Chain A
Amino acid sequence: MSVNRRDFLKIAGMAGSSLLAGAPGRSEAAVAGVEFYGLLIDTTKCIGCRSCEEACNEQNGLPEPEVPFDRESVFETKRDTSPGAYTVLNRFPNEKDPDNPVFVRRQCLHCCQPACASACLTKAMEKTKEGPVIYNKDRCMGCRYCMIACPQDIPKFEYGSAFPYIRKCIFCYDRLKAGERPACVDACPEDATIFGTRRELLEIARTRIYENPDKYVHHIYGEHEVGGSGTMYLSAVPFEQLGFRTDLGTTPYPEHTSGFLYGVPLVFVLWPSILIGLNYLAEDRNKEKNHEEEG
């Protein structure tokens, strides 16, 4: 799409929003210079022990897992997160080193400009200033638009319940506010998942790649994907082989709809005036016609 059109709408939109309440706001996450917290997950260090899954389960009071945490058989099928599991570990073959399969944790990436939060009409999904994307369950109306929007398909819905909620990782937000790290970080015996500010983590990630150029693919998943995310990954094999979507682009998702939203105040100002104008013209025309018919 042409940049000009969008820029035009933005300028027009800003003019409009000063006139009208309810004009679209920029995603609060877009505010530059905020130190978001995040996680760096180094898949080369992960040994597949599922300690993170177990810690997450305990922390969030989730139901017993289908396959106990000490059972290896769980890796025979690819699992997805679910209302009962906010993080799951999957095993992928390693083409570089067939004896050492790769284990990858899958959970919410806490995008810098989250699609889920920009989709949510009640602010139940909310990007906090610390970085985590949290879920205010009392506001949610269960429309599941966040699920449509999330590029990673992370929010999960409790279809089996008459009083359902959306479920996903919330970065142990309560622990974070109490000055603690997320439970999964504390549980990881290999430091495969580490905690820090996004800036620090990016530095660590880059350093690791520079120091071991042959070991890692030269890409940090989550640095730029859909505008960047709080949780980022390092890997030894290309990310598309690990079940990551690599076709998402770098545009933050809220920008896909901001053009439309900026156009809204415009229509609100222009349409009524145009309609009233047309109405005058039409009345004139009818009057003239009647006149002619009479005359």
Chain B
Amino acid sequence: MKRKGNDIERPRKVLQGVRDFVRFIASEMKPKGKIWTPFNVISGTIIAVGIVLIAIRFYMGLGAVTNLSQDYPWGIWIGFDVITGVAFAGGAYVLTFVVHIMKFEKYEPIVRVTVLNGFLAYVFYAGALLLDLGRPWNVVNPIIGNSFGLSSVLFLVAWHFLLYMICEFIEFSPAIAEWLNWEKTRRIVEKMTIGAVIFGITLSTLHQSGLGALFLLAPAKIHPLWYSYYIPVLFFVSSIFAGLSMVIIESTFTHRIFHHRIGNRLRASHDDILLGLAKGCIGALFAYLFLKVIELVHGGHWGLLATPMGYWYLVEIVGFVVLPIFLFGAAIKRRNVRLVQFTSFFTAIGVVLNRLNVSIIAFKWYAPVRYYPSWIEIWVTLAVISMELWVFRWVINRMPVFKEHPAAKEAMDDITPVGEVVRWKASAS
């Protein structure tokens, strides 16, 4: 038997393997493409200054850099970064539902990039929560501690963020395994995908609505037009079209840049995919509008519509829910992809508006001193977004994200722009 020889060989082999691995990672760490592009210079500056600002925040406390007050404990770091960011990350659970559960293969080519986007959104935007916590090192308390606040919606949301990030990581990990050429691992994680998808959709349902349910505890502080027992359902339903419109926006960018690089099959189906997603948006928008009307009737707050806050409410509903329904409808009828893309932007703005309304604008609408974000809060938010884009680009440039199916390995060369550059997120990473 060769057993003895193996014993000596093994450590050496392992060592060699580790060395190769480190070398590979090191080479992948290096930027690809041009470094001094406008995008890099601008986003680089934002990130660099942002890091300094974050350091100041941790050194001097939240009061030194934010406009938060005793009246407004939550500003845009929560209202925009976390609450809106997570809504936009909803595309991942919707698409995994469509592709892995409902088996609509048409959308398969965009699943990976969407899951990647979702995962990074959670890492960065839910991660931005740490900036906002007064004692972020205690964030582990509700996870490991002896102190489970079981009656807290935030407890649920925190746990679900964590678990969902793991799910999305599993869903994306086949791409990582392919990148590392770990065939065995890939086969294992591939098998875990469906479980992660099912668990992930369940978690998403709960924490997307949970983010809304957070505000159920503030009935006397949120304007009656925005406060209702429906908030959780409304947040859930709107996360569907928020996520889908973000997928459309994102693919508008990446696809335009990749257009001449992408295989025929994907190119042919791209318009189809977007039109299909637009149909999904319409459905969710309709359901949302319906719920909003029921809520208004149920709450009996008609009278409030004729107040300044009421007009603002109508702007949100008519301008950013009703209008997108018509625009999407027209776009689908004429198969006008550009209009679909435009409307997605529009819808996304509406979602931002809604989340900011609930968490900030309609929150203590009666307060004599209102909250406006400080320039530092905005800057740090931009820095977080820039960092996410950098990581996104880094991954896209290295891992087979645009691959359609593991089985279609040969076709891959045709489709995947491995090592190629996305121009806007492009140049170096």
CB within 8 Å of B: which residues of A?
Answer: 1, 22-27, 80, 82, 115, 117-124, 136, 138-145, 147-149, 151, 153, 156-165, 245, 247-249, 253-254, 256-261, 264, 267-268, 271-272, 275-276, 278-279, 282-283, 285-286
The closest CB in chain B to the CB of A277 belongs to B101
- Return the contact of A275 from the options B64, B134, B198, B229 (Cβ within 8 A): B198
Give Cα A23 to B150, complex, Å. 7
Q: Are A153 and B70 closer than 8 Å at their CB atoms?
A: yes
The closest CB in chain B to the CB of A270 belongs to B202
Known: A144-B73, A278-B101. A164 touches B217 (CB 8 A): no
Residues of B within 8 A of A247 (CB): 220
Count of A-B contacts judged by CB separation below 8 Å: 182
Interface residues of B in 27-85 (CB under 8 A from A): 58-64, 66, 68-71, 73-74
Residues of A within 8 A of B23 (CB): none
Decide yes or no whether B12 CB sits under 8 A from chain A. no
A to B CB contacts below 8 Å, 12 in the list:
A24-B150, A139-B141, A140-B138, A141-B135, A159-B66, A160-B60, A260-B209, A275-B97, A275-B198, A279-B100, A282-B102, A282-B104
Give Cα A163 to B134, complex, Å. 7
Decide yes or no whether B142 CB sits under 8 A from chain A. yes
Residues of B within 8 A of A257 (CB): 151, 153, 213, 216-217
Give Cα A249 to B220, complex, Å. 9
Q: Are B70 and A260 closer than 8 Å at their CB atoms?
A: no
Residues of B within 8 A of A23 (CB): 150
Residues of A within 8 A of B59 (CB): 162
Give Cα A214 to B97, complex, Å. 67
Q: Are B221 and A256 closer than 8 Å at their CB atoms?
A: no
Q: Mark B201-231, 1 if CB is under 8 A from A, else 0.
A: 1100110011001111111110000000100
- Closest Cβ–Cβ distance, residue B206 to chain A (whole Å): 6
Instruction: For the A-B complex with A118-B217, A140-B134, A275-B101 known, give 17 more contacts whose Cβ atoms are closer than 8 Å.
Output: A22-B148, A122-B147, A124-B147, A139-B145, A140-B135, A141-B133, A142-B135, A145-B214, A148-B221, A151-B220, A159-B62, A163-B135, A164-B61, A245-B220, A257-B216, A282-B101, A286-B103
Interface residues of B in 104-155 (CB under 8 A from A): 104-105, 132-136, 138-139, 141-142, 145, 147-155
Q: Are A141 and B139 closer than 8 Å at their CB atoms?
A: yes
CB within 8 Å of A: which residues of B?
Answer: 58-64, 66, 68-71, 73-74, 97, 100-105, 132-136, 138-139, 141-142, 145, 147-156, 158-159, 194, 197-199, 201-202, 205-206, 209-210, 213-221, 229, 232
Q: Are B198 and A122 closer than 8 Å at their CB atoms?
A: no
Q: Are A121 and B64 closer than 8 Å at their CB atoms?
A: no
Give Cα A141 to B141, complex, Å. 8
- Closest Cβ–Cβ distance, residue B347 to chain A (whole Å): 26
Q: Are A285 and B103 closer than 8 Å at their CB atoms?
A: yes
Give Cα A141 to B71, complex, Å. 19
Give Cα A260 to B230, complex, Å. 10
- Closest Cβ–Cβ distance, residue B196 to chain A (whole Å): 12
Q: Are B202 and A159 closer than 8 Å at their CB atoms?
A: no
Residues of B within 8 A of A122 (CB): 138, 141-142, 145, 147, 149
Residues of B within 8 A of A157 (CB): 62, 70, 73, 134
Residues of B within 8 A of A259 (CB): 229
Q: Are A162 and B141 closer than 8 Å at their CB atoms?
A: no
Residues of B within 8 A of A268 (CB): 202, 206
Q: Which of B71, B103, B199, B209 has the most CB of A within 10 A?
A: B103
- Closest Cβ–Cβ distance, residue A282 to chain B (whole Å): 4
Known: A148-B217, A248-B220, A253-B217. A142 touches B138 (CB 8 A): yes
The closest CB in chain A to the CB of B70 belongs to A156
- Closest Cβ–Cβ distance, residue B376 to chain A (whole Å): 14
Give Cα A148 to B73, complex, Å. 7
Give Cα A74 to B394, complex, Å. 59
Residues of B within 8 A of A164 (CB): 61-62, 134-135
The closest CB in chain B to the CB of A272 belongs to B198
- Return the contact of A139 from the options B62, B138, B215 (Cβ within 8 A): B138
The closest CB in chain A to the CB of B154 belongs to A121
Q: Are B68 and A119 closer than 8 Å at their CB atoms?
A: no
Known: A144-B73, A149-B217, A260-B216. A25 touches B150 (CB 8 A): yes
Give Cα A115 to B219, complex, Å. 11
Q: Are B202 and A121 closer than 8 Å at their CB atoms?
A: no
- Return the contact of A158 from the options B61, B103, B142, B217 (Cβ within 8 A): B61
7 nearest A-B pairs in the assembled complex, by CB-CB distance:
A142-B134, A159-B63, A144-B73, A121-B155, A141-B138, A282-B103, A149-B217
Give Cα A156 to B150, complex, Å. 23
Q: Which of A136, A245, A267 has the most CB of B within 10 A?
A: A267
Known: A123-B149, A164-B62. A256 touches B155 (CB 8 A): no
- Return the contact of B58 from the options A24, A136, A162, A286 (Cβ within 8 A): A162
Give Cα A147 to B71, complex, Å. 8
Q: Are A260 and B138 closer than 8 Å at their CB atoms?
A: no
- Closest Cβ–Cβ distance, residue A63 to chain B (whole Å): 16
Known: A24-B151, A121-B142, A141-B139. A256 touches B202 (CB 8 A): no
